[in-house]
Amino acid sequence: MEPALIGVRDALGPVRVRLRGGPVLSELTDRFGARAGAQVLAGEVVDAHGAVVDDATVLPAGASVYLYRDLPDEVPVPFDIPVLYRDDDIVVVDKPHFLSTMPRGRHVAQTALVRLRCSLGLPELSPAHRLDRLTAGVLLFTTRRELRGRYQTLFAQGLVRKTYLARAAVNPALSLPRVVRSRIVKRRGNLQAVTEPGEPNAETLVELQSPDGLYRLTPRTGRTHQLRVHMSELGVPINGDPLYPNIIDVAVHDFSTPLQLLAQRIEFDDPVTGSRREFVSRREEVWI
């Protein structure tokens, strides 16, 4: 966690940089350009203890400092983020397709987290879980840093019941409903997750809701791309999927063909109030 001394800018906290060792000003300027050096001279860079770094600071290899990232040029995602529910502790939204949950790689400002921090004026807003950039639907955030762990634990321990809707082709020979179990591994640097031999770590109940190809998917685990992998393995990949079964090169600014996967509903016992919570996407109306 970043030191409290350095705050949020452009709805983003600072990034941690591990140093090679030596004068900090020259290293940050060499690695990140004049903008990083200017942050040092302005007193906007701190070390791991919250002490301000200046032009005379020398730190050993392996030490860390915190500074603000430059925002990349991004194509705006032309969809709103409707708020389904908000109180002092949580915010629940209906995330659109094509919007990442939180900053990663080339997606920074055009993420649900940054856009909501700005629009709602909540600098400590944090996601309790994640949805893929291409998946739409119910997404829960906590409003204060001290609450984040309690809600994240619910998702990590499988205490949240999640229901998805998907559109895909129909195979009359496919016996449904069925529970799909497999071992899914997602390796860093690879776009696709893969199924490997071994103890299953992913489980999904797959049900056909209507003969025109509307499926209800109930994951009992939460592996990366789990629903997309399981539907592809059944021979009925989700409509609009650019990764499964084959990778399709789609421009980042092409919003014409959304993945037909919706996080329709989440249900859980609130760790703060103890009450039963249930939130349902309003986007399901266009699916049924």
DSSP letters along 64-77, please?
Answer: EEEEPPPPPP----
For the chain, the average pLDDT equals: 91
- The one catalytic residue in 132, 212, 241, 249 is 132
Instruction: For residue 235, give both structure tokens.
Output: 């021979």
* For residue 219, pLDDT beyond 90: yes
Q: Cβ atoms within 10 A of the Cβ of 43, count?
A: 10
**Which range is least confidently modeled, 101-115, 242-256, 265-279?**
101-115
| Three state DSSP letters for the chain | CCCCCCCCECCECCEEEECCCEEHHHHHHHHHCHHHHHHHHCCCCEECCCCECCCCCEECCCCEEEECCCCCCCCCCCCCCCEEEECCCEEEEEECCCCECCCECCECCCEHHHHHHHHHCCCCCEECCCCCCCCEEEEEEECCHHHHHHHHHHHHCCCCEEEEEEEECCCCCCCCCEEEEEEEECCCCCCCCEEECCCCCEEEEEEEEECCCEEEEEECCCCCCHHHHHHHHCCCCECCCCCCCCCCCCCCCCCCCCCCEEEEEEEEECCCCCCEEEEECHHHHHCC
Contact (Cβ atoms closer than 8 angstroms) between residue 124 and residue 72: no
For residue 109, name the pLDDT band (cuts at 50, 70, 90): confident
218-222 average pLDDT score: 95
27-33 average pLDDT score: 89
133-138 average pLDDT score: 96
What residues are paired with 139 via a beta bridge? 93
Indicate if 269 belongs to the active site.
Answer: no
Beta-carbon contacts of residue 148 (< 8 Å; ≥ 6 apart) = 126, 128, 142
Amino acid of residue 78 = P
For residue 1, name the pLDDT band (cuts at 50, 70, 90): very low
Q: What is the pLDDT of residue 107?
A: 77
Q: Which residue has the higher pLDDT, 286 or 264?
A: 264
19-31 average pLDDT score: 92
Q: What is the pLDDT of residue 73?
A: 76
* For residue 134, pLDDT beyond 50: yes
* For residue 28, pLDDT beyond 70: yes
Contact (Cβ atoms closer than 8 angstroms) between residue 141 and residue 127: yes
Q: What is the pTM of this model?
A: 0.82
Beta-carbon contacts of residue 231 (< 8 Å; ≥ 6 apart) = 166, 168, 206, 215, 217, 237, 238, 244
